[in-house]
Chain A
């Protein structure tokens, strides 16, 4: 595939025509974040995540494992080394497609939209949060930021091959604008907020 010539052509075409604009000076103030206390952020996060169609379960940190053992006993817990070993990166899709419930560690949440940041270091195969029928994300209650602008200050894209913000279960409104959960990804999202 010889596209070197096209690259040079495109860049020349750009150089010939580009007009100089002043460089972008800086970020806008995240006023939202400045005004909200941690308790307020938690409330805003909860409200927005529910609006996105997710269920939230608030637990004390020491009650999490008990809750998982009693309520989510068929879920695959992707924090456990033996589960990780069972679903490696070269795991056949037919096996991954049978996952009903998957528990995945979330890194932090964004209050303004209920999104939770998930990185590939926490999942042995990148497709797991999408292919599972029901996704359960764990989140430390203290790990909240106000806006997406704060969120991108916290993550480092250069340290992960794949990362995703997830806000709610998969959804579509392509048929007459009727909202339906479970288009292609997980049909349900439960967030276990602990602490």
Chain B
């Protein structure tokens, strides 16, 4: 069994929870649909967003340099990291330079990708995640299971238990308002004591050197404005050329992510606060390698809305942790093999290829087509299991010749009718693990049709 299938099975063993997960994310998808339908030019916006991102990627070096020039003019220190190790070291350097002790961080998938928290932890430095969902999973020692709804895999009773342990809330209390108030109080103290704030970046505007961060909770702003040092971490693909392009992306992002018209706060940081310091760290970590790959480069257009996860029939029924990569779901399944083909070879197969992900994507990434391309590439490079490769080869052989096809069809119909159950459902038949094989008709469609025509 592949790692994804194995972990999905574990997730599905708790049926009420799996059903809740499925239905809750489907509700988010329906909210998204209502929002999208209320904007008459929605499809046009998707097209424009896709074109802007394509233009950015085709001139990425130019825009990055322009962005840096503008940011430096604004009094910002811009640093570049080629990989995760260098990124982590840069953050450590900034912490040491400012002798920061109390560090708060708002949501940043990039820092998750680079393993920043663990790196700093191993050097005795603790980072407090301030997004409520992220704080919950940080308390529990887990990773996010969704990029926008990090704690969607948990029930309120479990969160209540965690808060009882860590924050001293009443035992057995699980009211979301009560728990949120407790977290508000706890994290206010962290904000007030913060001497450095880390954030991710939603958009970086080349012509102004600004970074834009979108949150509903206000945690990015509480940290950034409270701490004397603010550090914004961005992948190289976060660039948009002009301020006016933000109009298109901010119309798409929250509608597609959570079905809101816009996030509560859309913050534009351009200059350090009076007396403060501002850093922007630009990270490659393997992204530029895929610029020249016509099949996979479009994955770099992603704005991390999570819309493809909410709609995916596999994600909704297997949970984010089943993917084993920092970004789960359809988009994660095409990003993960870019990082490590061997480790994540099963992810492009964790899909029904229904194409719903591509249809909801706000920047028109052809996600399901890339999943299909990855399947072929990974199989060619023998990254998939021998059984899978062998059975695919065999299927190819029998399906490509008329006589062979008729022959094997006859055998299969006979086998399904007469072979004992234990032989048909050998472990090698992965399909039959959770399903019954269909009953076999006496005649193939071809035979049946031939007879009909004759009569």
Chain A positions near chain B (C-beta within 8 angstroms)? 1, 3-4, 6-7, 9-11, 13-25, 27-32, 48, 51-52, 89-90, 93-94, 97, 110, 112-115, 125-127, 129-131, 147-153, 155-158, 160-178, 180, 182-186
Using A114-B262, A174-B136 as known contacts, list a sample of 14 further A-B pairs with CB atoms less than 8 Å apart, ordered by residue number in A. A13-B291, A14-B64, A18-B57, A24-B245, A90-B275, A125-B225, A148-B247, A148-B251, A153-B244, A158-B208, A172-B133, A175-B156, A175-B176, A176-B156
Q: Which residue of chain B is the closest to A94 with respect to CB atoms?
A: B192
A-B contacts, 7 of them at CB < 8 A, read: A16-B292, A21-B55, A21-B57, A21-B58, A24-B245, A127-B222, A174-B150
Smallest beta-carbon distance B296→chain A, Å: 12
- The verdict on B269 contacting chain A, using a C-beta distance below 8 Å, is yes
Complex CA gap A4/B292 in Å reads 23
Smallest beta-carbon distance A44→chain B, Å: 10
Number of B interface residues at 8 Å Cβ cutoff, please give it: 104
Chain B residues with CB under 8 Å of A148's CB are: 246-248, 250-251, 262
- The verdict on B413 contacting chain A, using a C-beta distance below 8 Å, is no
- The verdict on B273 contacting chain A, using a C-beta distance below 8 Å, is yes
Q: Which of A89, A112, A147 contacts B274 (CB 8 A)?
A: A89
Complex CA gap A14/B67 in Å reads 15
Q: Which residue of chain A is the closest to B283 with respect to CB atoms?
A: A10
Chain A residues with CB under 8 Å of B154's CB are: 176
Q: Which of A31, A48, A178, A182 contacts B40 (CB 8 A)?
A: A31
Q: Which residue of chain A is the closest to B159 with respect to CB atoms?
A: A175
Q: Which of A3, A156, A172, A175 has the most chain B CB atoms inside 10 A of its CB?
A: A175
| Interface flags, B54-84, vs A, CB<8A=1, else 0 | 1101111100110010000010000111100
Smallest beta-carbon distance B121→chain A, Å: 22
- The verdict on B261 contacting chain A, using a C-beta distance below 8 Å, is yes
Check B61–A162 contact: CB distance below 8 A.
no
Check B180–A182 contact: CB distance below 8 A.
yes
- Shortest 7 CB-CB contacts between residues of A and residues of B: A185-B218, A17-B292, A161-B271, A149-B247, A174-B133, A113-B261, A183-B217
Chain A residues with CB under 8 Å of B297's CB are: 19
Check B270–A160 contact: CB distance below 8 A.
yes
Chain A residues with CB under 8 Å of B192's CB are: 93-94, 97
Q: Which residue of chain B is the closest to A153 with respect to CB atoms?
A: B244
Known A127-B226, A131-B222: A162·B261 in contact at CB below 8 Å: no
Complex CA gap A162/B224 in Å reads 11
- The verdict on B210 contacting chain A, using a C-beta distance below 8 Å, is yes
Q: Which residue of chain B is the closest to A8 with respect to CB atoms?
A: B80
Chain A residues with CB under 8 Å of B156's CB are: 175-176, 178
Check A17–B288 contact: CB distance below 8 A.
yes
Q: Which residue of chain A is the closest to B293 with respect to CB atoms?
A: A17
Known A15-B61, A170-B218: A162·B268 in contact at CB below 8 Å: yes
Known A18-B58, A170-B264: A183·B219 in contact at CB below 8 Å: yes
